[in-house]
Amino acid sequence: MEIRQVGIIGAGQMGNGIAHVFALAGYDVLLTDISQDALDGARSTITRNLDRQVSRGTIDAGARDAALGRIASTLKLPDLGASDLVIEAATERETVKQAIFEDLVPHLKPETILTSNTSSISITRLAARTDRPEKFMGFHFMNPVPVMQLVELIRGIATDGPTFDACLAVVERLGKTASTAEDFPAFIVNRILIPMINEAVYALYEGVGNVRSIDTSMKLGANHPMGPLELADFIGLDTCLAIMNVLHDGLADTKYRPCPLLVKYVEAGWLGRKTKRGFYDYRGDEPVPTR
């Protein structure tokens, strides 16, 4: 099956980035969200990011304009019914994703491939709630999508070969690199990354070091481009907690217990950069540690 029309569900940070790279690679994109403000914001973000690429010389103005011309938006989920490939990039909550697929499936072509950008939820379980588990996959982009080169491809237990091959070909056309992960909680990247972040929060919680010393230690001592607490703020502390809960529930191992301090920050609504406060306070000119 040739993939030309791509439907993307969710116009947030991940959804607009996915729309950006697909349109730039020549796909026709239809982006949907429940909020017109989110769709308008996504358009502005994509335009700004494409302009940045033009200014850096990575693309020319013609490519930018062509990409923007390939992106349409809608508030109506059924409008995605004509898509050859659908990528769900909604909130990282299983009940939300299930409800989206339940509403969408009756409008899809029989051959449409369904995928989820979930960073941790079982692909097999999501697929089982649709009419096409053999045409369902995990299609996990890294954030920020236009910059990061990796895409995790996750097969559910029922995913067939042609579906996997079609998604692999898409990744290659995007100019990115695919890694294949089995359908276990949090897959590869977040199975390793998020527990490291959780352990950094434990180090903070137990007084081993403060925010600044923990981040500096990992940047200069392990050559990480961002410290783990700074990275947690960038990802979103609610997302980090959700993934730790998936690991803890799915693998039943105490080493995946979310740190109580991470829980407390999320309960306070201090979710990182998107709320202006997390392990750093972003309301001033420079980020200031909150502990």
Per-residue pLDDT, 227? 98
Could you tell me if 52 and 153 lie in one domain? yes
Could you tell me if 209 and 260 lie in one domain? yes
Give the residue from 182, 202, 220 where a domain finishes. Answer: 182
**Does the pLDDT at position 226 exceed 80?**
yes
Could you tell me if 267 and 142 lie in one domain? no
Q: Which of 190, 198, 230, 248 is catalytic?
A: 190
Per-residue pLDDT, 91? 87
Q: What is the mean pLDDT of residues 254-270?
A: 98
Residue 117 known to be catalytic: no
119 labelled binding-site residue: yes
Q: What is the pTM of this model?
A: 0.90
Give the residue from 119, 148, 182 where a domain finishes. Answer: 182
Q: Which of 152, 198, 230, 248 is catalytic?
A: 152
12 labelled binding-site residue: yes
d(CA 214, CA 200): 7
15 labelled binding-site residue: yes
Per-residue pLDDT, 120? 87
Residue 198 known to be catalytic: no
Q: What is the mean pLDDT of residues 76-100?
A: 95
Could you tell me if 76 and 175 lie in one domain? yes
Could you tell me if 165 and 268 lie in one domain? no
pLDDT class of 92 with cuts at 50, 70, 90: confident
Could you tell me if 137 and 43 lie in one domain? yes
**Model pLDDT for residues 123-153, shown as the tens digit of each residue:** 999 999 999 999 999 999 999 999 999 999 9
Residue 55 known to be catalytic: no
Give the residue from 161, 182, 203 where a domain finishes. Answer: 182
Q: Which of 116, 140, 230, 248 is catalytic?
A: 140
Could you tell me if 89 and 225 lie in one domain? no
Residue 88 known to be catalytic: no
Q: What is the mean pLDDT of residues 170-192?
A: 96
d(CA 291, CA 281): 10
176 labelled binding-site residue: no
**Model pLDDT for residues 183-207, shown as the tens digit of each residue:** 999 999 999 999 999 999 999 999 9
**Does the pLDDT at position 1 exceed 80?**
no
264 labelled binding-site residue: no
Domain containing 276 equals 190-289
pLDDT class of 109 with cuts at 50, 70, 90: very high
- Give the CATH number of the domain where residue 111 resides: 3.40.50.720
How many domains, the chain?
2
Per-residue pLDDT, 35? 95
Q: What is the mean pLDDT of residues 160-169?
A: 97
223 labelled binding-site residue: no
Of all residues in the chain, the percent with pLDDT exceeding 90 is: 97
35 labelled binding-site residue: no
Could you tell me if 133 and 17 lie in one domain? yes
Per-residue 3-state assignment (H helix, E strand, C coil) for the chain: CCCCEEEEECCCHHHHHHHHHHHHCCCEEEEECCCHHHHHHHHHHHHHHHHHHHHHCCCCHHHHHHHHHCEEEECCHHHHHHCCEEEECCCCCHHHHHHHHHHHHHHCCCCCEEEECCCCCCHHHHHHCCCCHHHEEEEEECCCCCCCCEEEEEECCCCCHHHHHHHHHHHHHCCCEEEEECCCCCCCHHHHHHHHHHHHHHHHHCCCCCHHHHHHHHHHHCCCCCCHHHHHHHHCHHHHHHHHHHHHHHHCCHHHCCCHHHHHHHHCCCCEHHHCECCEECCCCCCEECC
- Give the CATH number of the domain where residue 226 resides: 1.10.1040.10
Could you tell me if 37 and 96 lie in one domain? yes
Q: Which of 119, 120, 122, 198 is catalytic?
A: 119
**Model pLDDT for residues 267-278, shown as the tens digit of each residue:** 999 999 999 999
33 labelled binding-site residue: yes
pLDDT class of 6 with cuts at 50, 70, 90: very high
Contact 244, 256 (CB under 8 A): yes
